[in-house]
Amino acid sequence: MDIRTVGIIGAGQMGNGIAHVFALSGYDVLLTDVNEAALKRAVELVEGNLGRQVTREKISAEDRDAALARIRTTSQLADLGQSDLVIEAATERESVKDAIFAELVPHLKPDTILTSNTSSISITRLASRTDRPEKFMGFHFMNPVPVMSLVELIRGIATDEETYRLLLDVVERLGKTAAVAEDFPAFIVNRVLMPMINEAVYVLYEGVGNVLSIDKAMKLGTNHPMGPLELADFIGLDTCLAIMNVLHDGLADTKYRPCPLLTKYVEAGWLGRKTQRGFYDYRGDVPKPTR
């Protein structure tokens, strides 16, 4: 099977980045979202990000124009039915993903490969609710997609070898590097990263350090480019909490218990950069810590 057309579900932060890298690598992309404004915003973001790559001489103006010409949008999920590969990049809630696949599956070609960009949810479980568990995989990109080189490939219990090999080839064509993970809660990256972020929130919650001291300590003490609380704001505190809940529920270990302060921030709607407030307040010229 030769993968040429790619359908992407969700025009948010991850979806527009995935559309960007696929279009730039020569794939025809059809991007869908229930929100027409989100689709328009996604294309504008891709155009702006491609423009920055031209300015930095990473790509040519011709590459940019060709990539933009390969991206189409639709608000109708069924329009993705003729895609060779579908990547679901909707919100990190299993019920939402199940509903999307239930609506999409009747319209798919028999050989279409289904994937999810989930950062934590069971691939085996998602696949079992479709008509093609053998052609279903986890296809987890890192954020921001155009910059980060890693893609986690997660095989469900039923994923066949051909599907795995095809997606491995796709990752290589994108110029990225694959890390193969087994299908356990949060896979590799978030299994390690999220407990670190959660522990940083505990350090804040217990008064061991404030926001600035925690982030400064980790940046300078471990040479991380971004402190854990700053990174949590970038990822989205709701996403961090959702992944911690998946770890806690899936592994039944108290060490994965979400920090109550993380829960409190999410309840307040302080989700990080996307809502202008999280562990930092982004409403001014310079981000200011909220604790």
pLDDT tens-digit readout, 149-164: 999 999 999 999 999 9
Question: Are 156 and 100 contained in the same domain?
Answer: yes
The answer to whether 269 is annotated as binding is no
Question: Are 230 and 166 contained in the same domain?
Answer: no
Domain end: 160, 182, 204, which one? Answer: 182
* Residue 281's CATH number: 1.10.1040.10
The catalytic position among 49, 88, 140, 198 is 140
Domain end: 182, 215, 239, which one? Answer: 182
Q: What are the φ/ψ torsions at residue 186 (nearest 5 degrees)?
A: 70, 0
pLDDT mean over 185-199 = 96
* Residue 172's CATH number: 3.40.50.720
The catalytic position among 20, 83, 152, 230 is 152
pLDDT tens per residue, range 228-279: 999 999 999 999 999 999 999 999 999 999 999 999 999 999 999 999 999 9
The answer to whether 223 is annotated as binding is no
pLDDT mean over 63-73 = 97
Give, as one character, the DSSP assignment of residue 257.
P
Question: Are 68 and 10 contained in the same domain?
Answer: yes
Question: Are 96 and 17 contained in the same domain?
Answer: yes
pLDDT mean over 97-113 = 97
pLDDT at 1: 79
The answer to whether 57 is annotated as binding is no
* Whether pLDDT at 205 is above 90: yes
The catalytic position among 122, 190, 198, 230 is 190
pLDDT at 174: 97
Question: Are 39 and 91 contained in the same domain?
Answer: yes
pLDDT tens per residue, range 8-44: 999 998 999 999 999 999 999 999 999 999 999 999 9
pTM of the model: 0.90
pLDDT at 92: 87
The answer to whether 242 is annotated as binding is no
* Whether pLDDT at 188 is above 90: yes
The total number of structural domains that make up the chain: 2
Question: Are 227 and 205 contained in the same domain?
Answer: yes
For residue 121, the enclosing domain spans 5-182
Query: What CA–CA distances, in Å, run from 139 to 117, 121, 216, 268?
Result: 5, 12, 33, 31
Question: Are 126 and 256 contained in the same domain?
Answer: no
- What's the mean per-residue pLDDT of the chain? 96
Question: Are 51 and 143 contained in the same domain?
Answer: yes
CA distance 244 to 230: 17
The answer to whether 51 is annotated as binding is no
Q: Is 190 a catalytic residue?
A: yes
Question: Are 131 and 197 contained in the same domain?
Answer: no
Name residues whose C-beta falls within 8 Å of residue 71's C-beta, 6 or more positions apart in sequence: 19, 23, 29, 31, 43, 46
pLDDT at 220: 98
Question: Are 43 and 133 contained in the same domain?
Answer: yes
The answer to whether 143 is annotated as binding is yes
The catalytic position among 119, 120, 122, 198 is 119
- Taking Cα atoms as reference points, which of 260, 256, 286, 282 lies closest to residue 270? 282
Domain end: 147, 162, 182, which one? Answer: 182
Sign of CA dihedral 269, 274, 275, 280: positive
* Whether pLDDT at 86 is above 90: yes
